[in-house]
Amino acid sequence: MSLKFETINNSEIKIKQINGLDTIPIRHTVLRKGKPVEACPIPQDNLESTFHFGLFYQEKLVGVCTFIIDKSPYFNDNKQYRLRAMGILDSYQGLHFGKQLLTHGVAFLKEKKIDRLWFNARVIAIKFYKNNEFETIGDIFNVPNVGPHYVMHKKL
């Protein structure tokens, strides 16, 4: 499938809250390629304070992200959330779906009066997050079985 951004009809895009189980197929396909599906859940998936969002294009789930309460030692903010397991199916990347999904999540957290959003970003995603007004902090580090990462953040 080869879509161009110009051909995307915004009325065919819906972002809505989903449950943790709904995120697993996208996480497995995008973030845990070649690993068992058991590598996909996050321990906080079923907490009441955790929020999952899905981006649907033409009623098909093509992207997900998860926000969990988690404090980083880098920041003193009282109310911190962490972005986890954000991914867009490969054939839908480059269509600004990730930007829309992230923007939706940030707006949601701002409504909840969250002070800061932070996360561990894969090196290959740094440009995307910088284009969405996030900054790196600290040194590069390795996440075992995943690869090099930076901590990124934004004051909300």
Average pLDDT, the chain: 93
Sorting pLDDT into bands at 50, 70 and 90, what band is 4? low
**Phi then psi for 26, rounded to 5 degrees?**
-70, -45
Beta bridge partners of 25: none
pLDDT at 130: 98
Structural domain boundaries enclosing 70: 5-155
**Phi then psi for 96, rounded to 5 degrees?**
70, 15
pLDDT tens-digit series, residues 79-136: 999 999 999 999 999 999 999 999 999 999 999 999 999 999 999 999 999 999 999 9
pLDDT at 50: 98
For the beta carbon of residue 133, count every other beta carbon within 10 angstroms. Answer: 11
pLDDT at 10: 80
Strands 135-143 and 60-69 come out as: unpaired
Number of domains in the chain: 1
Is the per-residue pLDDT at 5 higher than 60? Answer: no
**Phi then psi for 111, rounded to 5 degrees?**
-60, -35
Is the per-residue pLDDT at 7 higher than 60? Answer: no
pLDDT tens-digit series, residues 54-91: 999 999 999 999 999 999 999 999 999 999 999 999 99
For the whole model, what pTM was predicted?
0.92
Cα Rg of the chain, angstroms: 15
State the CATH number of the domain containing residue 144: 3.40.630.30
